[in-house]
Structure 1
Amino acid sequence: MSPTGLRQPRFLQLYHEDRAALREELAGGLLATPARTSPKYLYDPLGSRLFDAITELPEYYPTRTEAALLLMHGAAIAREVPKGATLVDLGAGNCEKAARLFGLLQPARYVAVDISVDYLNNALQCLQRQFPALDMLGVGLDFSSQLTLPPEVGEGPRLLFYPGSSIGNFTPEEALVFLRQVRAAAQGGGLLIGVDLLKPTDVLQAAYDDALGVTAAFNKNLLLHINRVLGSDFAVHDWSHVAFFNAAASRIEMHLQARRELTVRWPGGERRFAQGERIHTENSCKYALADFQTLLAAAGFTRVQAWTDERGWFAMYWAQA
């Protein structure tokens, strides 16, 4: 409790940035063939704000489609998930998606997980005032490679919530590894996860290459983030945003393409890029409804159920651990 007697959210910072390791990771990706970077570098403070803007674009259907789906099927979903569980919000961001479900899911505790609790702090403080009786915990954790929740999350069943189709950033093989970790972390509860489904290619590509160029700015901002971390000399105007649907891999790919022949330098290294050469910055895998259900079963989940929007563009799955 605070001195005013009002409940306050607690915070744990488990992720601590290792600048040397980040520089090594970035340099290794830039020197690879083809060059690549992790999508986590898209989300510096400016990148996060640009992504928020992307979700408001007419072309970007996932956010509003998922929200409509939860509104349509929320009562049915609530009948399946355990009441009184700890709601663990993976990649919580501003916590808005989970907060809309508090009335339906009736969690005993809310745990917001993101790579930094600094981003969560204000959101959780505001949320605690709206829901003063609910115990809240913010956890700064990078779960992209290993999901291990701290003991402070508490015992008992957990409802892990992973909305927004972020699972698409993993390859199917990586997703299987991650889903097995989620199942272990659920402790007898389960997973509620949003998944983007296959749909017409023109719809997919427009969502990642909008007419206003906001997604292009989001992608190119990654270069400024790399410059700060690695000490490189990328010039944004030398690069173009490229996004397309790779049908063979069932995924949208985002790349940055060199507009001319150039050399990028950083302390201890450099990489020459030919005109037209690309840096692969993000994947977003799209699934057939039955294929993701098969993936959940392979990860050890049972009683898998799915709800979709009216067009069948997006799905919300409940899977029991």
Structure 2
Amino acid sequence: MSLSEEMSELARRARLASRRLTSLSTGEKNNCLQAMADAIEANAQFIQEENAKDMDAGAASGLSKSLLDRLLLNGARIEGMVTGLREVSKLPDPVGRVIEERTRPNGLKLTKIATPIGVIVIIYESRPNVTADAASLCFKSGNATILRGGKEAINSNQVIAKIMVQAATQTLPEFPKDAILVVPTTDRAAIPELLSLTRDVDLCIPRGGESLIRAVAECSQVPVIKHYKGVCHVYIDGAADLAMAEEIIFNSKVHRPGVCNAAETLLVDQTIAAEALPRLAKRLVKANVELRCDETARALLDRSLIDVLSASETDWGEEYLGLVLSVKTV
């Protein structure tokens, strides 16, 4: 079977599953989600064994420390998936929700009601816990999903999806097993093939860095819900509690620098910069954070003998996803 035929068959199966999902009640969906959570929890060791294969391959291929951190599934992150599934099961069912009602002058009553989209392709990068997040949200909202994670997480993604489907079918025999599918190949050519199938794929949601989002948007023939850069800023106000600000900034930059909500730019009120920056900068540099500063911030830190770099204009819009922070006084 060619790659084109393989993707066509995958999308066809998802389409059929999406139609069968419409017959499931809210209670049945919630019971499946609870069973998925229990199964992920019970199979934590097996998931970590599969994840270890991805971690070993990633390290051998030269993945950066921050990308390996995104790839890792430890006990806490697996428990996070379990909690997430249980939380989704408790959310109101969006299917059938009345969004708007109005009556025309001629007496015609119009009602806008939320319905499933159909088949949603979700494309993401290193974090395998997105598999559970994305699949559960799509399932709760009555949609079949085709998941395409990064090639570095193929073993982790496949085992998570397999466990979720098995748990749901054991709980509810009517559960359509093709409602949650993982693209079985790491070939990048699979993405444009899949996103050309306008008859069977209704929507694509890419989740990741700017290059991924642009690549998907450019090749897709189906509608795409997208964002671009996740450049997160932290601002220290002139009246801020500086001890608290230091803890917030250190955590938001150093804890997990490779995730999309890590801090990338620090803005400091110039009235407190001389007091706030040197101590904070010393702590960040000690944690191997590279600081790229505007002229004012660099002059302050040079006087404190802290080694920093000058920021370029492109730094203010850069998503580093690593131990780099741009610093600007305002």
Q: Which has the higher helix share?
A: 2
Q: TM-score, normalised by structure 1?
A: 0.39
Of Structure 1 and Structure 2, which has the larger fraction of its residues in strand? 1
In our comparison, the structure showing a higher alpha carbon Rg is 2
